[in-house]
Structure 1
């Protein structure tokens, strides 16, 4: 019989976020490996798609099945969160009875894990809990939380409770693994690292340069193609885009023709636009705004160097981002700050370039050195793409889940292969 995995999610497609794209990649790769999978979201997903109206109880999006938890919850915290968790747990139990999964696979935040833990115990199913980031640290990075707050402490304690109750825990990088082991709430044998990866079917072919789009964004001058530094993603404070804008005058001293293209939006957008307008090289800085996901490749085609100047903090030191891997798959050069999350992805001088975090001048120095050394670009791109193909390809990454599932179900590898066949 085919192994059946029910993924418990905060939100999903049709929303677009790194969280959604990781989920999509996992589910697609697991289906290709012969598993039956479905996703189930809580009421927070409903708020995120509120403008389009309440989602149906069941949606098929991009060939993937997603089940929804109806309704919404209001009221003061923590009563609101308690009710959200209870509603999700009830929906999981309901779906277990009709869809009959073999394993519940819950993905952070901890409220999802808590709901799945309650349902798993009630239904006597094994639970895998996956941590993509510590959400209390993400709140600090987003400017909505404080490490000294009661909420921070409570969130951390709740996560520890879920980790201790789960049958296995997955994390996306070694930084998170080390942090959990230091807490002493999980044995190393119950913890697996399943790193971020790239679906090479989506990002496996570098697009040709879109000259019409370059003209529309005023990146070129008089038909002359100018070098473009770029960022594609969400404009959160921890991304350090203010440092990238601050680096541009220094870079212009060596390369006055260099352009900066910022694609996306977010909480910092107004401040970043004001900073750019006040820059002595304002004419070299371009904002494209948010673009549809299906259009993103067009913007990648314009950029020579993708820059990721994340600020040094607990969040960025522990968590690896997805965007640099996508850039590598697109045959683009990558330059990033030397925070821990980037160090796990980038071999300095081979697959990418690292510069000092929170240091616009060092960022400009690194970008300038890359622009000065175009002869080395082809080799650098080849090493980066090879790394993604061999080490960060989703269709090989998901193999790390299978031994965990089999162990929880008491299967041998041979039995798992028989099921997949």
Structure 2
């Protein structure tokens, strides 16, 4: 008997787009539920960061007015509004002689004030505090002793701790049917599989921009690339419409998006390894190229072991130092620097760097640090941050740049304004609070001509965790009308924001991460002909000094608002030598274009292929 399908409507089949949306919604809900259960305060802050800034602050101020019975809600609101001291005061008052609620305790952890917790605080919160200060085994033990040793939170912490154990390796469940090492046809292009934490178009940062410029420059040099990002990205950062792949400027970014969210970090890495092996089978790369941090390195190591492909580790920063710098208090940073977590991460990343076929890093200061951690100097290649060749053409004057981005009388900036600032992530270690304090000093300095003082304005284009505090500080200093924070700006407009400035500032704090890691923005500012005032730190000295020792910037003491103010006043009233520095810097920047830098990558790739017996880039 046959069935006439015309008599019965066919069951609708969801489109590929609808299936992706359903999968992404499930991942996002699972991630949200996990974060809400583990750390409700941080979850609320992260949700707030994805709101328009004015709305985030308004919601924070509404919550801040919560009664003493809701001290946790009120202190959380203070954090969202950028009122850190008010948040701490509320917690101290509510905790005097009483046990903090769970939410209050989580806010205390968020504010780097674990001292406000007591033995009566929930075990989960005390474990969070221990983990946040870097006492990893203590955190797991707290959950175990409280009877929550088999909870999902405990399993996740044990998994993260296991990944940091010396000698631990991830294993690939299966390798491609044919091992691809050395099977590239004669004359075929060299192919590289890149393992990244995040990427364009969903994340705009120094990390993602460097990655993209490397990939596009490699393509121009005849090297084919595919990039794979971490499991769950970008859905995990709130991109519900994420696709399985994005193509940006012809560069293919593949996403590792599972049907359900893996519950532990080890399981997430396992999923990423499976995706990487699938790409190895499809793309047939010659080299695996992993980029900071150790999680990407663990994936590369597993894929290399399974396939015989050589792998490179590119160390762009030191994860433990970035974590230390994220602490909001000096005591918190000191404690973090001496913690178990900092020691384990440093040892783990050094161990993985030693196991890679080659190591690439950004500066001599970083290379020296890696050598001090036992990495063979002979395996390390220096490839500093480069400059996109397009930045050397298409310049406009500051007036035209300001008009194109909307900086003018309409937003309170006079036509003859003297603009200082940056296009940058607004995070604490960048030190932009020092810039605001310097401008406040200048505006109060009666030795400066009144007409000069009237011209001074600050523009900080970007977003980040420090933004609410900068807004609050500008209000406190009475200079809110001189400080302009437009928020995150489109990638293709960043150069115009830089060109709109009279002076670009890099007032980084004197922290280990700032002393070792070289930022990309100063070199780009030099390419655009902008004068620079920067903190006098080893990494910045290295990247902003020519081979003959000529400075390309005005260096000032880190953390000194007085020094910064004097340098800005000099630039405002004279600035001739800053112009000379800028001209010198532009010449130096031309030698660091990505088209020049990328040749060093080819040298590294070809060397490790020869060492592995896989031929060279010409298939010989």
Normalised to the residue count of structure 1, the TM-score between the two structures is 0.91
Q: Which runs of 5+ in 2 are unaligned?
A: 1-187
Please, which of 386, 390, 393 is the counterpart of residue 201 of structure 1?
390
Q: For the Cα contact (< 8 Å) 1:217–1:288, is it kept in 2?
A: no
Please, which of 539, 546, 556 is the counterpart of residue 355 of structure 1?
556
Comparing 321-330 with 374-383, which one deviates more in the overlay? 374-383
Per the alignment, do residues 380 and 205 of structure 1 end up closer, same or farther by CA in structure 2, a change over 3 Å counting?
Answer: farther
Please, which of 347, 370, 378 is the counterpart of residue 189 of structure 1?
378
Q: For the Cα contact (< 8 Å) 2:287–2:311, is it kept in 1?
A: yes
Deviation at residue 416 of structure 1 after TM alignment: 5.1
Per the alignment, do residues 378 and 245 of structure 1 end up closer, same or farther by CA in structure 2, a change over 3 Å counting?
Answer: closer
Q: Does 1:217 align with 2:406?
A: no
Determine the structure 2 residue equivalent to 1:395.
595
Determine the structure 1 residue equivalent to 2:211.
23
Q: Does 1:165 align with 2:366?
A: no
Deviation at residue 229 of structure 1 after TM alignment: 0.6
Per the alignment, do residues 388 and 270 of structure 1 end up closer, same or farther by CA in structure 2, a change over 3 Å counting?
Answer: same
Q: Deviations over 1:278-320 (max 9, x none)?
A: 2143332222222222222332232100011000010000000
In 1, Cα distance between equivalents of 2:311 and 2:617: 21
Q: Deviations over 1:365-384 (max 9, x none)?
A: 11112222244454332211
Deviation at residue 73 of structure 1 after TM alignment: 3.9
Q: For the Cα contact (< 8 Å) 2:421–2:459, is it kept in 1?
A: yes
Per the alignment, do residues 141 and 203 of structure 1 end up closer, same or farther by CA in structure 2, a change over 3 Å counting?
Answer: farther
Determine the structure 1 residue equivalent to 2:493.
295
Deviation at residue 151 of structure 1 after TM alignment: 2.5
Per the alignment, do residues 203 and 218 of structure 1 end up closer, same or farther by CA in structure 2, a change over 3 Å counting?
Answer: farther
Please, which of 363, 370, 380 is the counterpart of residue 571 of structure 2?
370
In 1, Cα distance between equivalents of 2:529 and 2:290: 33
Per the alignment, do residues 239 and 377 of structure 1 end up closer, same or farther by CA in structure 2, a change over 3 Å counting?
Answer: closer
Q: Deviations over 1:187-214 (max 9, x none)?
A: 1111111111111214644333235322
Deviation at residue 418 of structure 1 after TM alignment: 4.4
Q: How does 1:328-339 map to 2 (within 5 A)?
A: 328-339=526-537
Q: Does 1:70 align with 2:257?
A: yes
In 1, Cα distance between equivalents of 2:262 and 2:308: 31
Per the alignment, do residues 148 and 374 of structure 1 end up closer, same or farther by CA in structure 2, a change over 3 Å counting?
Answer: closer
Determine the structure 1 residue equivalent to 2:421.
230
Please, which of 529, 532, 542 is the counterpart of residue 344 of structure 1?
542
Q: For the Cα contact (< 8 Å) 2:504–2:530, is it kept in 1?
A: yes
When the two chains are superposed, the root-mean-square deviation of aligned CA atoms in Å is 2.2
Deviation at residue 399 of structure 1 after TM alignment: 1.4
Q: Deviations over 1:118-142 (max 9, x none)?
A: 1101100001011110111111222
Which structure would you say has the larger RCO, counting Cα contacts within 8 Å and 6 or more residues apart? 1
Per the alignment, do residues 317 and 267 of structure 1 end up closer, same or farther by CA in structure 2, a change over 3 Å counting?
Answer: same
Q: For the Cα contact (< 8 Å) 2:229–2:253, is it kept in 1?
A: yes
In 1, Cα distance between equivalents of 2:313 and 2:286: 14
SS of the residue 2:243 aligns to: coil
In 1, Cα distance between equivalents of 2:286 and 2:219: 15
Determine the structure 1 residue equivalent to 2:148.
none
Deviation at residue 261 of structure 1 after TM alignment: 1.1
Determine the structure 1 residue equivalent to 2:504.
306
Determine the structure 1 residue equivalent to 2:515.
317
Comparing 265-274 with 367-376, which one deviates more in the overlay? 367-376
Q: For the Cα contact (< 8 Å) 2:438–2:561, is it kept in 1?
A: yes
Deviation at residue 48 of structure 1 after TM alignment: 4.7
In 2, Cα distance between equivalents of 1:117 and 1:355: 42
Per the alignment, do residues 159 and 134 of structure 1 end up closer, same or farther by CA in structure 2, a change over 3 Å counting?
Answer: same
Determine the structure 2 residue equivalent to 1:268.
466
Q: For the Cα contact (< 8 Å) 1:116–1:127, is it kept in 2?
A: yes
Please, which of 283, 288, 312 is the counterpart of residue 104 of structure 1?
288
Please, which of 174, 194, 197 is the counterpart of residue 364 of structure 2?
174
Larger CA Rg, structure 1 vs 2: 2
In 2, Cα distance between equivalents of 1:202 and 1:386: 13
In 1, Cα distance between equivalents of 2:246 and 2:488: 25
Per the alignment, do residues 378 and 317 of structure 1 end up closer, same or farther by CA in structure 2, a change over 3 Å counting?
Answer: closer
Determine the structure 1 residue equivalent to 2:606.
406
Q: State the aligned residue count.
A: 408
| Structure that is richer in strand per residue | 1
Deviation at residue 417 of structure 1 after TM alignment: 7.0
In 2, Cα distance between equivalents of 1:124 and 1:349: 46
Q: Deviations over 1:245-299 (max 9, x none)?
A: 1111222323412111111111111111011012143332222222222222332
Determine the structure 1 residue equivalent to 2:439.
248
Q: For the Cα contact (< 8 Å) 1:11–1:44, is it kept in 2?
A: no
Comparing 275-284 with 118-127, which one deviates more in the overlay? 275-284
In 2, Cα distance between equivalents of 1:202 and 1:38: 25
In 2, Cα distance between equivalents of 1:54 and 1:280: 43
Q: How does 1:61-140 map to 2 (within 5 A)?
A: 61-71=248-258, 73=261, 75=263, 80-140=264-324
Q: For the Cα contact (< 8 Å) 2:232–2:256, is it kept in 1?
A: no
Q: Does 1:46 align with 2:234?
A: yes
Q: For the Cα contact (< 8 Å) 1:12–1:45, is it kept in 2?
A: no
In 1, Cα distance between equivalents of 2:376 and 2:495: 42
Per the alignment, do residues 358 and 236 of structure 1 end up closer, same or farther by CA in structure 2, a change over 3 Å counting?
Answer: same
Q: Which runs of 5+ in 1 are unaligned?
A: none
In 2, Cα distance between equivalents of 1:417 and 1:115: 24
Determine the structure 2 residue equivalent to 1:385.
586
